[in-house]
Amino acid sequence: CSSTTPITATLFPGDGIGPEIAESVKKVFTTAGVPIDWEEHFVGTEIDPRTQSFLTWESLESVRRNKVGLKGPMATPIGKGHRSLNLTLRKELNLYANVRPCYSLPGYKTRYDDVNLITIRENTEGEYSGLEHQVVRGVVESLKIITRQASLRVAEYAFHYAKTHGRERVSAIHKANIMQKTDGLFLKCCREVAEKYPEITYEEVVIDNCCMMLVKNPALFDVLVMPNLYGDIISDLCAGLVGGLGLTPSCNIGEDGVALAEAVHGSAPDIAGKNLANPTALLLSGVMMLRHLKLNEQAEQIHRAIVNTIAEGKYRTADLGGSSTTTDFTKAICDHL
């Protein structure tokens, strides 16, 4: 319980189960004595012309100012004329890398018990350019964009991550045998960065083969870095290996030192407000945020409490085969602190 001046962090509780799991995080963090003041922002009910989405300008300003935040699930309201909330955040805050550690949780059995990998996804371009076009009726095209700048910065992030986290290998995932120019440029950038990190083993794996290897033997991988769409696919695949998006944290890294940790699962409107949601992904994302803030002691302590509570098995939410409420599960974690 250090008594430093508190750090201000933005909190997006999000929709659906978001507020309940955000409540859980606040409870656990307070119990652990984490020196954080939350600045809460909800998704607006009208389109903010300055963001072209339901995200308010103020909420984006809050992240820009605090440079650190935690985000629950946000369902994009149906309708035309506005942008996806998640994509708006990535674009407006220039969140160029999405980091997802994926490891087997002791005591939570899946078909795999040897998973310990990190996917690092380029988060701003590729098939997510938003550029699409109907050539003639019945013929449409989408543009995939790869730039040297975005590829270098995510590669740099991946190698730096590997080096500072005691990782030994970086695998660049691609389909350059088909997309020689786009994925070829991505690989070229990865190779350039790899040369600056001779202590890290570098390899290139074609995405189809990568997926096959991941389901056969995920222990073959360590850190994976890849363009946007492959990252979207492979990070979910990896989450599946260890139990799903309800158990895996993520953190988005932005250009000016911004870090926005995020639970990437859905907002589960069917169970919203029923005290049934599993807060683990948001809690573990919160732990990533603490590590980013170098609050390593509290991060470790909270991480251990979460893992031990799940391993013990006495308090588990329904998605993990238990019958605990969100509040009981949260209390159990606090008791472990």
Residues in contact with a second copy by the rule CB under 8 A: 84, 110-112, 127-128, 132-134, 137-149, 175, 177-182, 184-185, 207-209, 211-216, 229, 232-237, 239-241, 243-245
Dist. CA 83–CA 52, nearest whole Å: 6
Nearer to ligand IPM, 178 or 311 (CB): 178
Nearer to a second copy, 44 or 244 (CB): 244
All residues at 6 or more sequence positions from 328 whose CB lies less than 8 Å from its CB, including other chains: 315
Q: Which does 80 bind (CB under 5 to 8 A by kind): a second copy, ligand IPM, none?
A: none
Nearer to a second copy, 179 or 337 (CB): 179
Q: Which does 140 bind (CB under 5 to 8 A by kind): ligand IPM, a second copy, none?
A: a second copy
Nearer to a second copy, 149 or 296 (CB): 149
Q: CB of 76: closest distance to ligand IPM in angstroms?
A: 8
Give 181's DSSP letter: T
Q: For 251-311, give the secondary structure using H, E and C.
A: EEEECCCCEEEECCCCCCHHHCCCCCCCCHHHHHHHHHHHHHCCCHHHHHHHHHHHHHHHH
By CB under 6 A, name the binding residues for ligand IPM. Answer: 84, 86, 177-178, 208, 232, 264
Query: Encoding tokens for residue 101?
Result: 């550690």
All residues at 6 or more sequence positions from 149 whose CB lies less than 8 Å from its CB, including other chains: none
Query: For tokens 């369902």, what's the residue?
Result: 75
Nearer to ligand IPM, 177 or 296 (CB): 177
Q: CB of 232: closest distance to ligand IPM in angstroms?
A: 5
Q: CB of 228: closest distance to a second copy in angstroms?
A: 9
Nearest-CB residue for ligand IPM: 232
Q: Which does 144 bind (CB under 5 to 8 A by kind): a second copy, ligand IPM, none?
A: a second copy
Sheet of strand 95-103, all strands in order from the earlier edge strand to the far edge: 36-40, 7-12, 68-71, 259-262, 251-254, 95-103, 116-122, 223-226, 169-174, 201-206
